[in-house]
Amino acid sequence: MKQSITHVALVVHDYDEAIGFYCGVLGFDLLEDSYQPEQDKRWVVVRPKGGQGASIVLARASKPEQEAFVGNQTGGRVFLFFNTDDFWRDYNRLTAEGVEFIREPKTEDYGTVAVFRDIYGNLWDLLQLSEGHPAAN
C-alpha cells in the first residue's frame, strides 16, 4: 500500500499577497493558479523549490468564521515544517528578506531548527534534519 498527504490548506486573506510571500520571499514554486468559476475562487498551489512532498493550497477565507483563523490555524503552535538541505543558506536568505524569526537557531538531536512567522502570523519551523533521521530523505 502507498499513501501520502498531497495538499495542506492554508487559509489566507488574499491570493496575490500570499503568492508574493510564499513564492517571492520563501522561494516556493507556484504549481497552479487557476480560477474556479463555479465556486468563484482560485485554486492556488505552492510547494518548496525542488520539493516532492505535500504542497500547500492557499485558500482565501470566504466567510467571517474562516477569516478569524487566518494566521492562527493551530492556536499558536508551529503549524508547518519547512525542511531544507542547507539550513544556514536559507536562514540567512530569509533573514535578509525580512522574515521574522521568533526563536533563534539551535541544534537538536533531530537537526538544526529556528521558528519564524509568515505574513499572517502562522509559526513555521525552518529545519535541516540530521543525517539518518527517518524523514531526512
SS3 of 19, please?
helix
Q: Considering the entire predicted model, what is its pTM?
A: 0.92
Segments making up each domain of the chain, as ranges: 1-70, 73-137
Q: In a structure prediction context, what are the per-residue pLDDT tens digits for the chain, which is 137 residues long?
A: 989 899 999 999 999 999 999 999 999 999 999 999 999 999 999 999 998 889 999 999 999 999 999 999 999 999 999 999 999 999 999 999 999 999 999 999 999 999 999 999 999 999 999 988 888 76
Could you give the CA distance from residue 16 to residue 14 in angstroms, rounded to a whole number?
6
CATH architecture of 1-70: Roll (3.10)
Residue among 48, 35, 25 at smallest CA distance from 96 = 25
Q: What DSSP state is assigned to residue 130?
A: P
Q: Beta partners for 30? A: 46
Domains 1-70 and 73-137 share a fold: yes
How many residues are present in the chain?
137
Per the CATH hierarchy, to which homologous superfamily does domain 73-137 belong?
A: 2,3-Dihydroxybiphenyl 1,2-Dioxygenase, domain 1 (3.10.180.10)
